[in-house]
A and B are shown apart, each in its own frame.
Chain A
Amino acid sequence: MTEHEFTMPVSEDDVRKLRIGDHVVLQDTLFGIRDATLIHMFDKGRKTRLDLNGHAVIHTAPNVKKVPVSNSCPAGYQSICIGTTTSARMERFTRPLMERDGVRMIIGKGGLGEESAKAFQDLGGVYLAIIGGTAALETTWIEKILDVDMDDLNPESLWQFKIKDFGPLLVGMDAHGGSLFEEVRANAQDKRAAALARMGIDS
């Protein structure tokens, strides 16, 4: 296990160095996306004015408060609670996000599937696991909301966060076909027969 720190954005070489089990801390910039954001970007053809090239996106929809624009709240939003959501629903958007918008890192919980693993390998990307349900803690890693686009989808807007010491995050899927989630899933499937046998069931 190696520890890495990146000031965003990153290069393809940077992400290809990462291996499952490594720990990563991010600095400076992070984007927030979710189901509706991605549906609008890729199924409804909407483009964003924000540059995601080389960046990390987190599967999120934050709790925010609308406030007057100021230095600490340049987008007119104050963050209240920012966490993550289950990534699996967004599986089919991994490749287009990387191909069209140049995203290099996806942060979420629960992992992504085979299509994403292939996209990470082909295009140079990683999935970073954050601990779901620990939003109070994650909120302390976010300094402010810098910008927001597609805000008619609020709270599922495209958010740009200013971050400081965001992590540690665990490399759950790497650019070499590795997936901690797949390892755990296969291991759990192997234990199915024994679990049923404990309850008197032959499978």
Chain B
Amino acid sequence: MRSGVKSMKIDLDAVEETAKLLYIRALKVLPDDIKDGFQRLDAAETDATGKSILATMIRNIDVAEDTDNLLCQDTGIPIYNITIGRGVEVDGIDLKTAIRKGCARATKEYPLRSSVVHPVTRKNEHTSCGRRVPVINVDFSGAEQELVIEMIPKGSGSENGSFLKMCIPADGVAGIKTFVIDKVLEAGGKVCPPTIVGVGIGGTADLCMKMAKIAATRRLGSVCDDREGAKLEAELSDAVNTLGIGPQGLGGDSTSFAVHVETAATHITMNPVAVNIQCHSARRAKATFTPTGVEIGV
């Protein structure tokens, strides 16, 4: 333990309960930044069909809250992102077990549709759990006495809009930009636009795709902390919304809320680019554990 940092023990029963609550909450209440994104797109949309579809999507957000129902039938693949701050005392294996139990309990007790099957037998355990699922990502932060659990139910329509290309250095940045535009065109209405297009640039093949997922699930309004990545975000966000794909691929200006980019250093011989898309039901929920208790938000 680093000297001067107070320790905080994590109650695993609270983790299990929180993992359950986060899954259900994420499926019902859209984060404020996505709601604001809808208002922004609606104000700028010039196509009559696009405008009418956006209006129905906005109405659905209200109906879900008014009827205490799920926004979308797709309960997704559950992803839990854990960020462990300084001074946090927790057994890692027990933490993962508690999250897995909470995820299964949400599915059984609510009940939610389990969308998770074995990849070969296609057998559904009806727990939203399976081999290596829920996806549990662990990272660390400098925050003292704080543990954050973010839950993302990742819908399959948009997850099927995932692409990786190991471009070569001679393809340059032009190769990256062209790949993103071509994949947005290919995905069309299948990924439930308006979307957040997540782009990973650099790293290894696996890191590249992981960054694309981080980018696709980032808050709207957030900006890549690499200046070069931020420049590409602005250019690509502008360009994708000139394609006219529109809400649901039925035409209009609102193809994407934004293009988000994450970057990592890569090899001298490599120039990888990955695309991972988030649908308009861009759901997430977050819980923060501190010595004073657990706070649930987005």
- Flag if A180 contacts B73 (CB, 8 Å): no
- B238 located at the interface, meaning its Cβ lies under 8 Å from any Cβ of chain A in the complex: yes
Instruction: Judge if A192 is at the interface, Cβ distance under 8 Å.
Output: yes
Q: Are A86 and B157 in contact (CB under 8 A)?
A: yes
Q: Report the Cα distance A76→B56, complex, angstroms.
A: 31
Residues of B within 8 A of A139 (CB): 67, 69
Which residue from chain B places its CB closest to the CB of A197 in the assembled complex?
B239
**Complex-state Cα separation, A86 to B73, whole angstroms:** 12
Chain A contact residue count (CB 8 A cutoff): 52
Question: Does B41 sit within 8 A of A, measured CB to CB?
Answer: no
Q: Which residues of B contact A69 (CB under 8 A)?
A: none
Complex Cα spacing A4 to B296, Å:
46
Q: Which of A45-53, A93-101, A128-136 is found at the contact surface with chain B?
A: A128-136
Interface string of A177-203 (1 = CB under 8 A from B): 000110111011101101110111101
Chain B residues with CB below 8 A from A184, complex form:
188-189, 244-246, 249-251
The answer to whether B75 touches A63, judged by C-beta atoms less than 8 angstroms apart, is yes
The verdict on B181 contacting chain A, using a C-beta distance below 8 Å, is yes
Contact partner of A109 (CB less than 8 A), chosen from B174, B189, B236, B245, is B189
Q: Nearest CB to that of B236 among chain A residues?
A: A199
- Verify if B13 is at the interface (C-beta below 8 Å from A): no
Q: In chain A, residues 149-203, which have Cβ atoms closer than 8 Å to a Cβ of chain B?
A: 154-155, 170, 172, 180-181, 183-185, 187-189, 191-192, 194-196, 198-201, 203
Query: For A41, what are the chain B residues with a Cβ–Cβ distance below 8 Å?
Result: none
B72 touches which one: A83, A172, A192 (CB < 8 A)? A83
CB–CB A191/B243 < 8 A:
yes
In contact, B185 and A201 (Cβ under 8 angstroms): no
Q: Is there contact, CB below 8 Å, between B189 and A137?
A: no
How many Å from the CB of B171 to the closest CB on chain A? Answer: 11
- Establish whether residues B251 and A180, one from each chain, have CB atoms under 8 Å apart when the complex forms: yes
Given contacts A86-B190, A170-B250, contact A189 B185 (CB under 8 A): yes
Q: Does A134 contact B57, Cβ atoms closer than 8 Å?
A: yes
**Residue contact A187 to B251, C-beta cutoff 8 Å:** yes
Alpha-carbon distance A86/B124, docked complex (angstroms): 20
A140 within 8 Å of B (CB atoms): yes
Residues A134 and B69 in contact, CB atoms below 8 Å apart: no
Interchain CA distance A158-B191 in the complex, whole Å? 24
Least CB separation from B59: chain A residue: A137
A to B contact number (C-beta, < 8 Å): 173
Q: Does A84 contact B (CB under 8 A)?
A: yes
Interface membership of A25, Cβ < 8 A: no
| Chain B residues touching A, range | 35 or more
Minimum distance in angstroms from A77 CB to a CB of chain B: 11
Out of B60, B63, B69, B189, which one reaches A111, CB within 8 Å? B189
Closest to A185 in B: B188
- Chain B residue nearest in CB terms to A87: B190
Q: In the assembled complex, how far is the CB of residue B119 from the closest CB belonging to chain A, in whole angstroms?
A: 14
B178 touches A201 (CB 8 A): yes
Q: Is the CB of B242 within 8 A of A191?
A: yes
A87 to B72, CA, bound (A): 16
Nearest-neighbour CB distance to chain A for B50, whole angstroms, equals 10
Question: Does the CB pair A195–B239 fall under 8 Å?
Answer: yes
Q: A109-B157, A135-B71 are in contact. Are A63 and B112 (CB under 8 A)?
A: yes
Most buried by A among B53, B157, B242, B245: B157
Question: Is residue A18 within 8 Å, beta carbon to beta carbon, of the partner chain?
Answer: no
User: How many angstroms from the CA of A88 to the CA of B26 in the assembled complex?
Assistant: 27
Q: How far is the CB of B189 from chain A (nearest CB, A)?
A: 4
9 A-B pairs besides A84-B73, A136-B63, A195-B242 with CB distance below 8 A are A61-B115, A62-B113, A131-B56, A131-B60, A133-B57, A135-B70, A181-B249, A188-B245, A191-B244
Query: Nearest 6 CB-CB pairs, A to B?
Result: A83-B73, A136-B64, A134-B60, A110-B190, A81-B70, A133-B281
- 22 A–B contact pairs at CB < 8 A? A63-B75, A63-B111, A66-B111, A80-B69, A80-B111, A81-B73, A81-B113, A85-B156, A110-B192, A129-B250, A132-B192, A133-B72, A135-B70, A137-B60, A140-B63, A180-B250, A184-B250, A185-B249, A192-B181, A192-B182, A196-B177, A201-B178
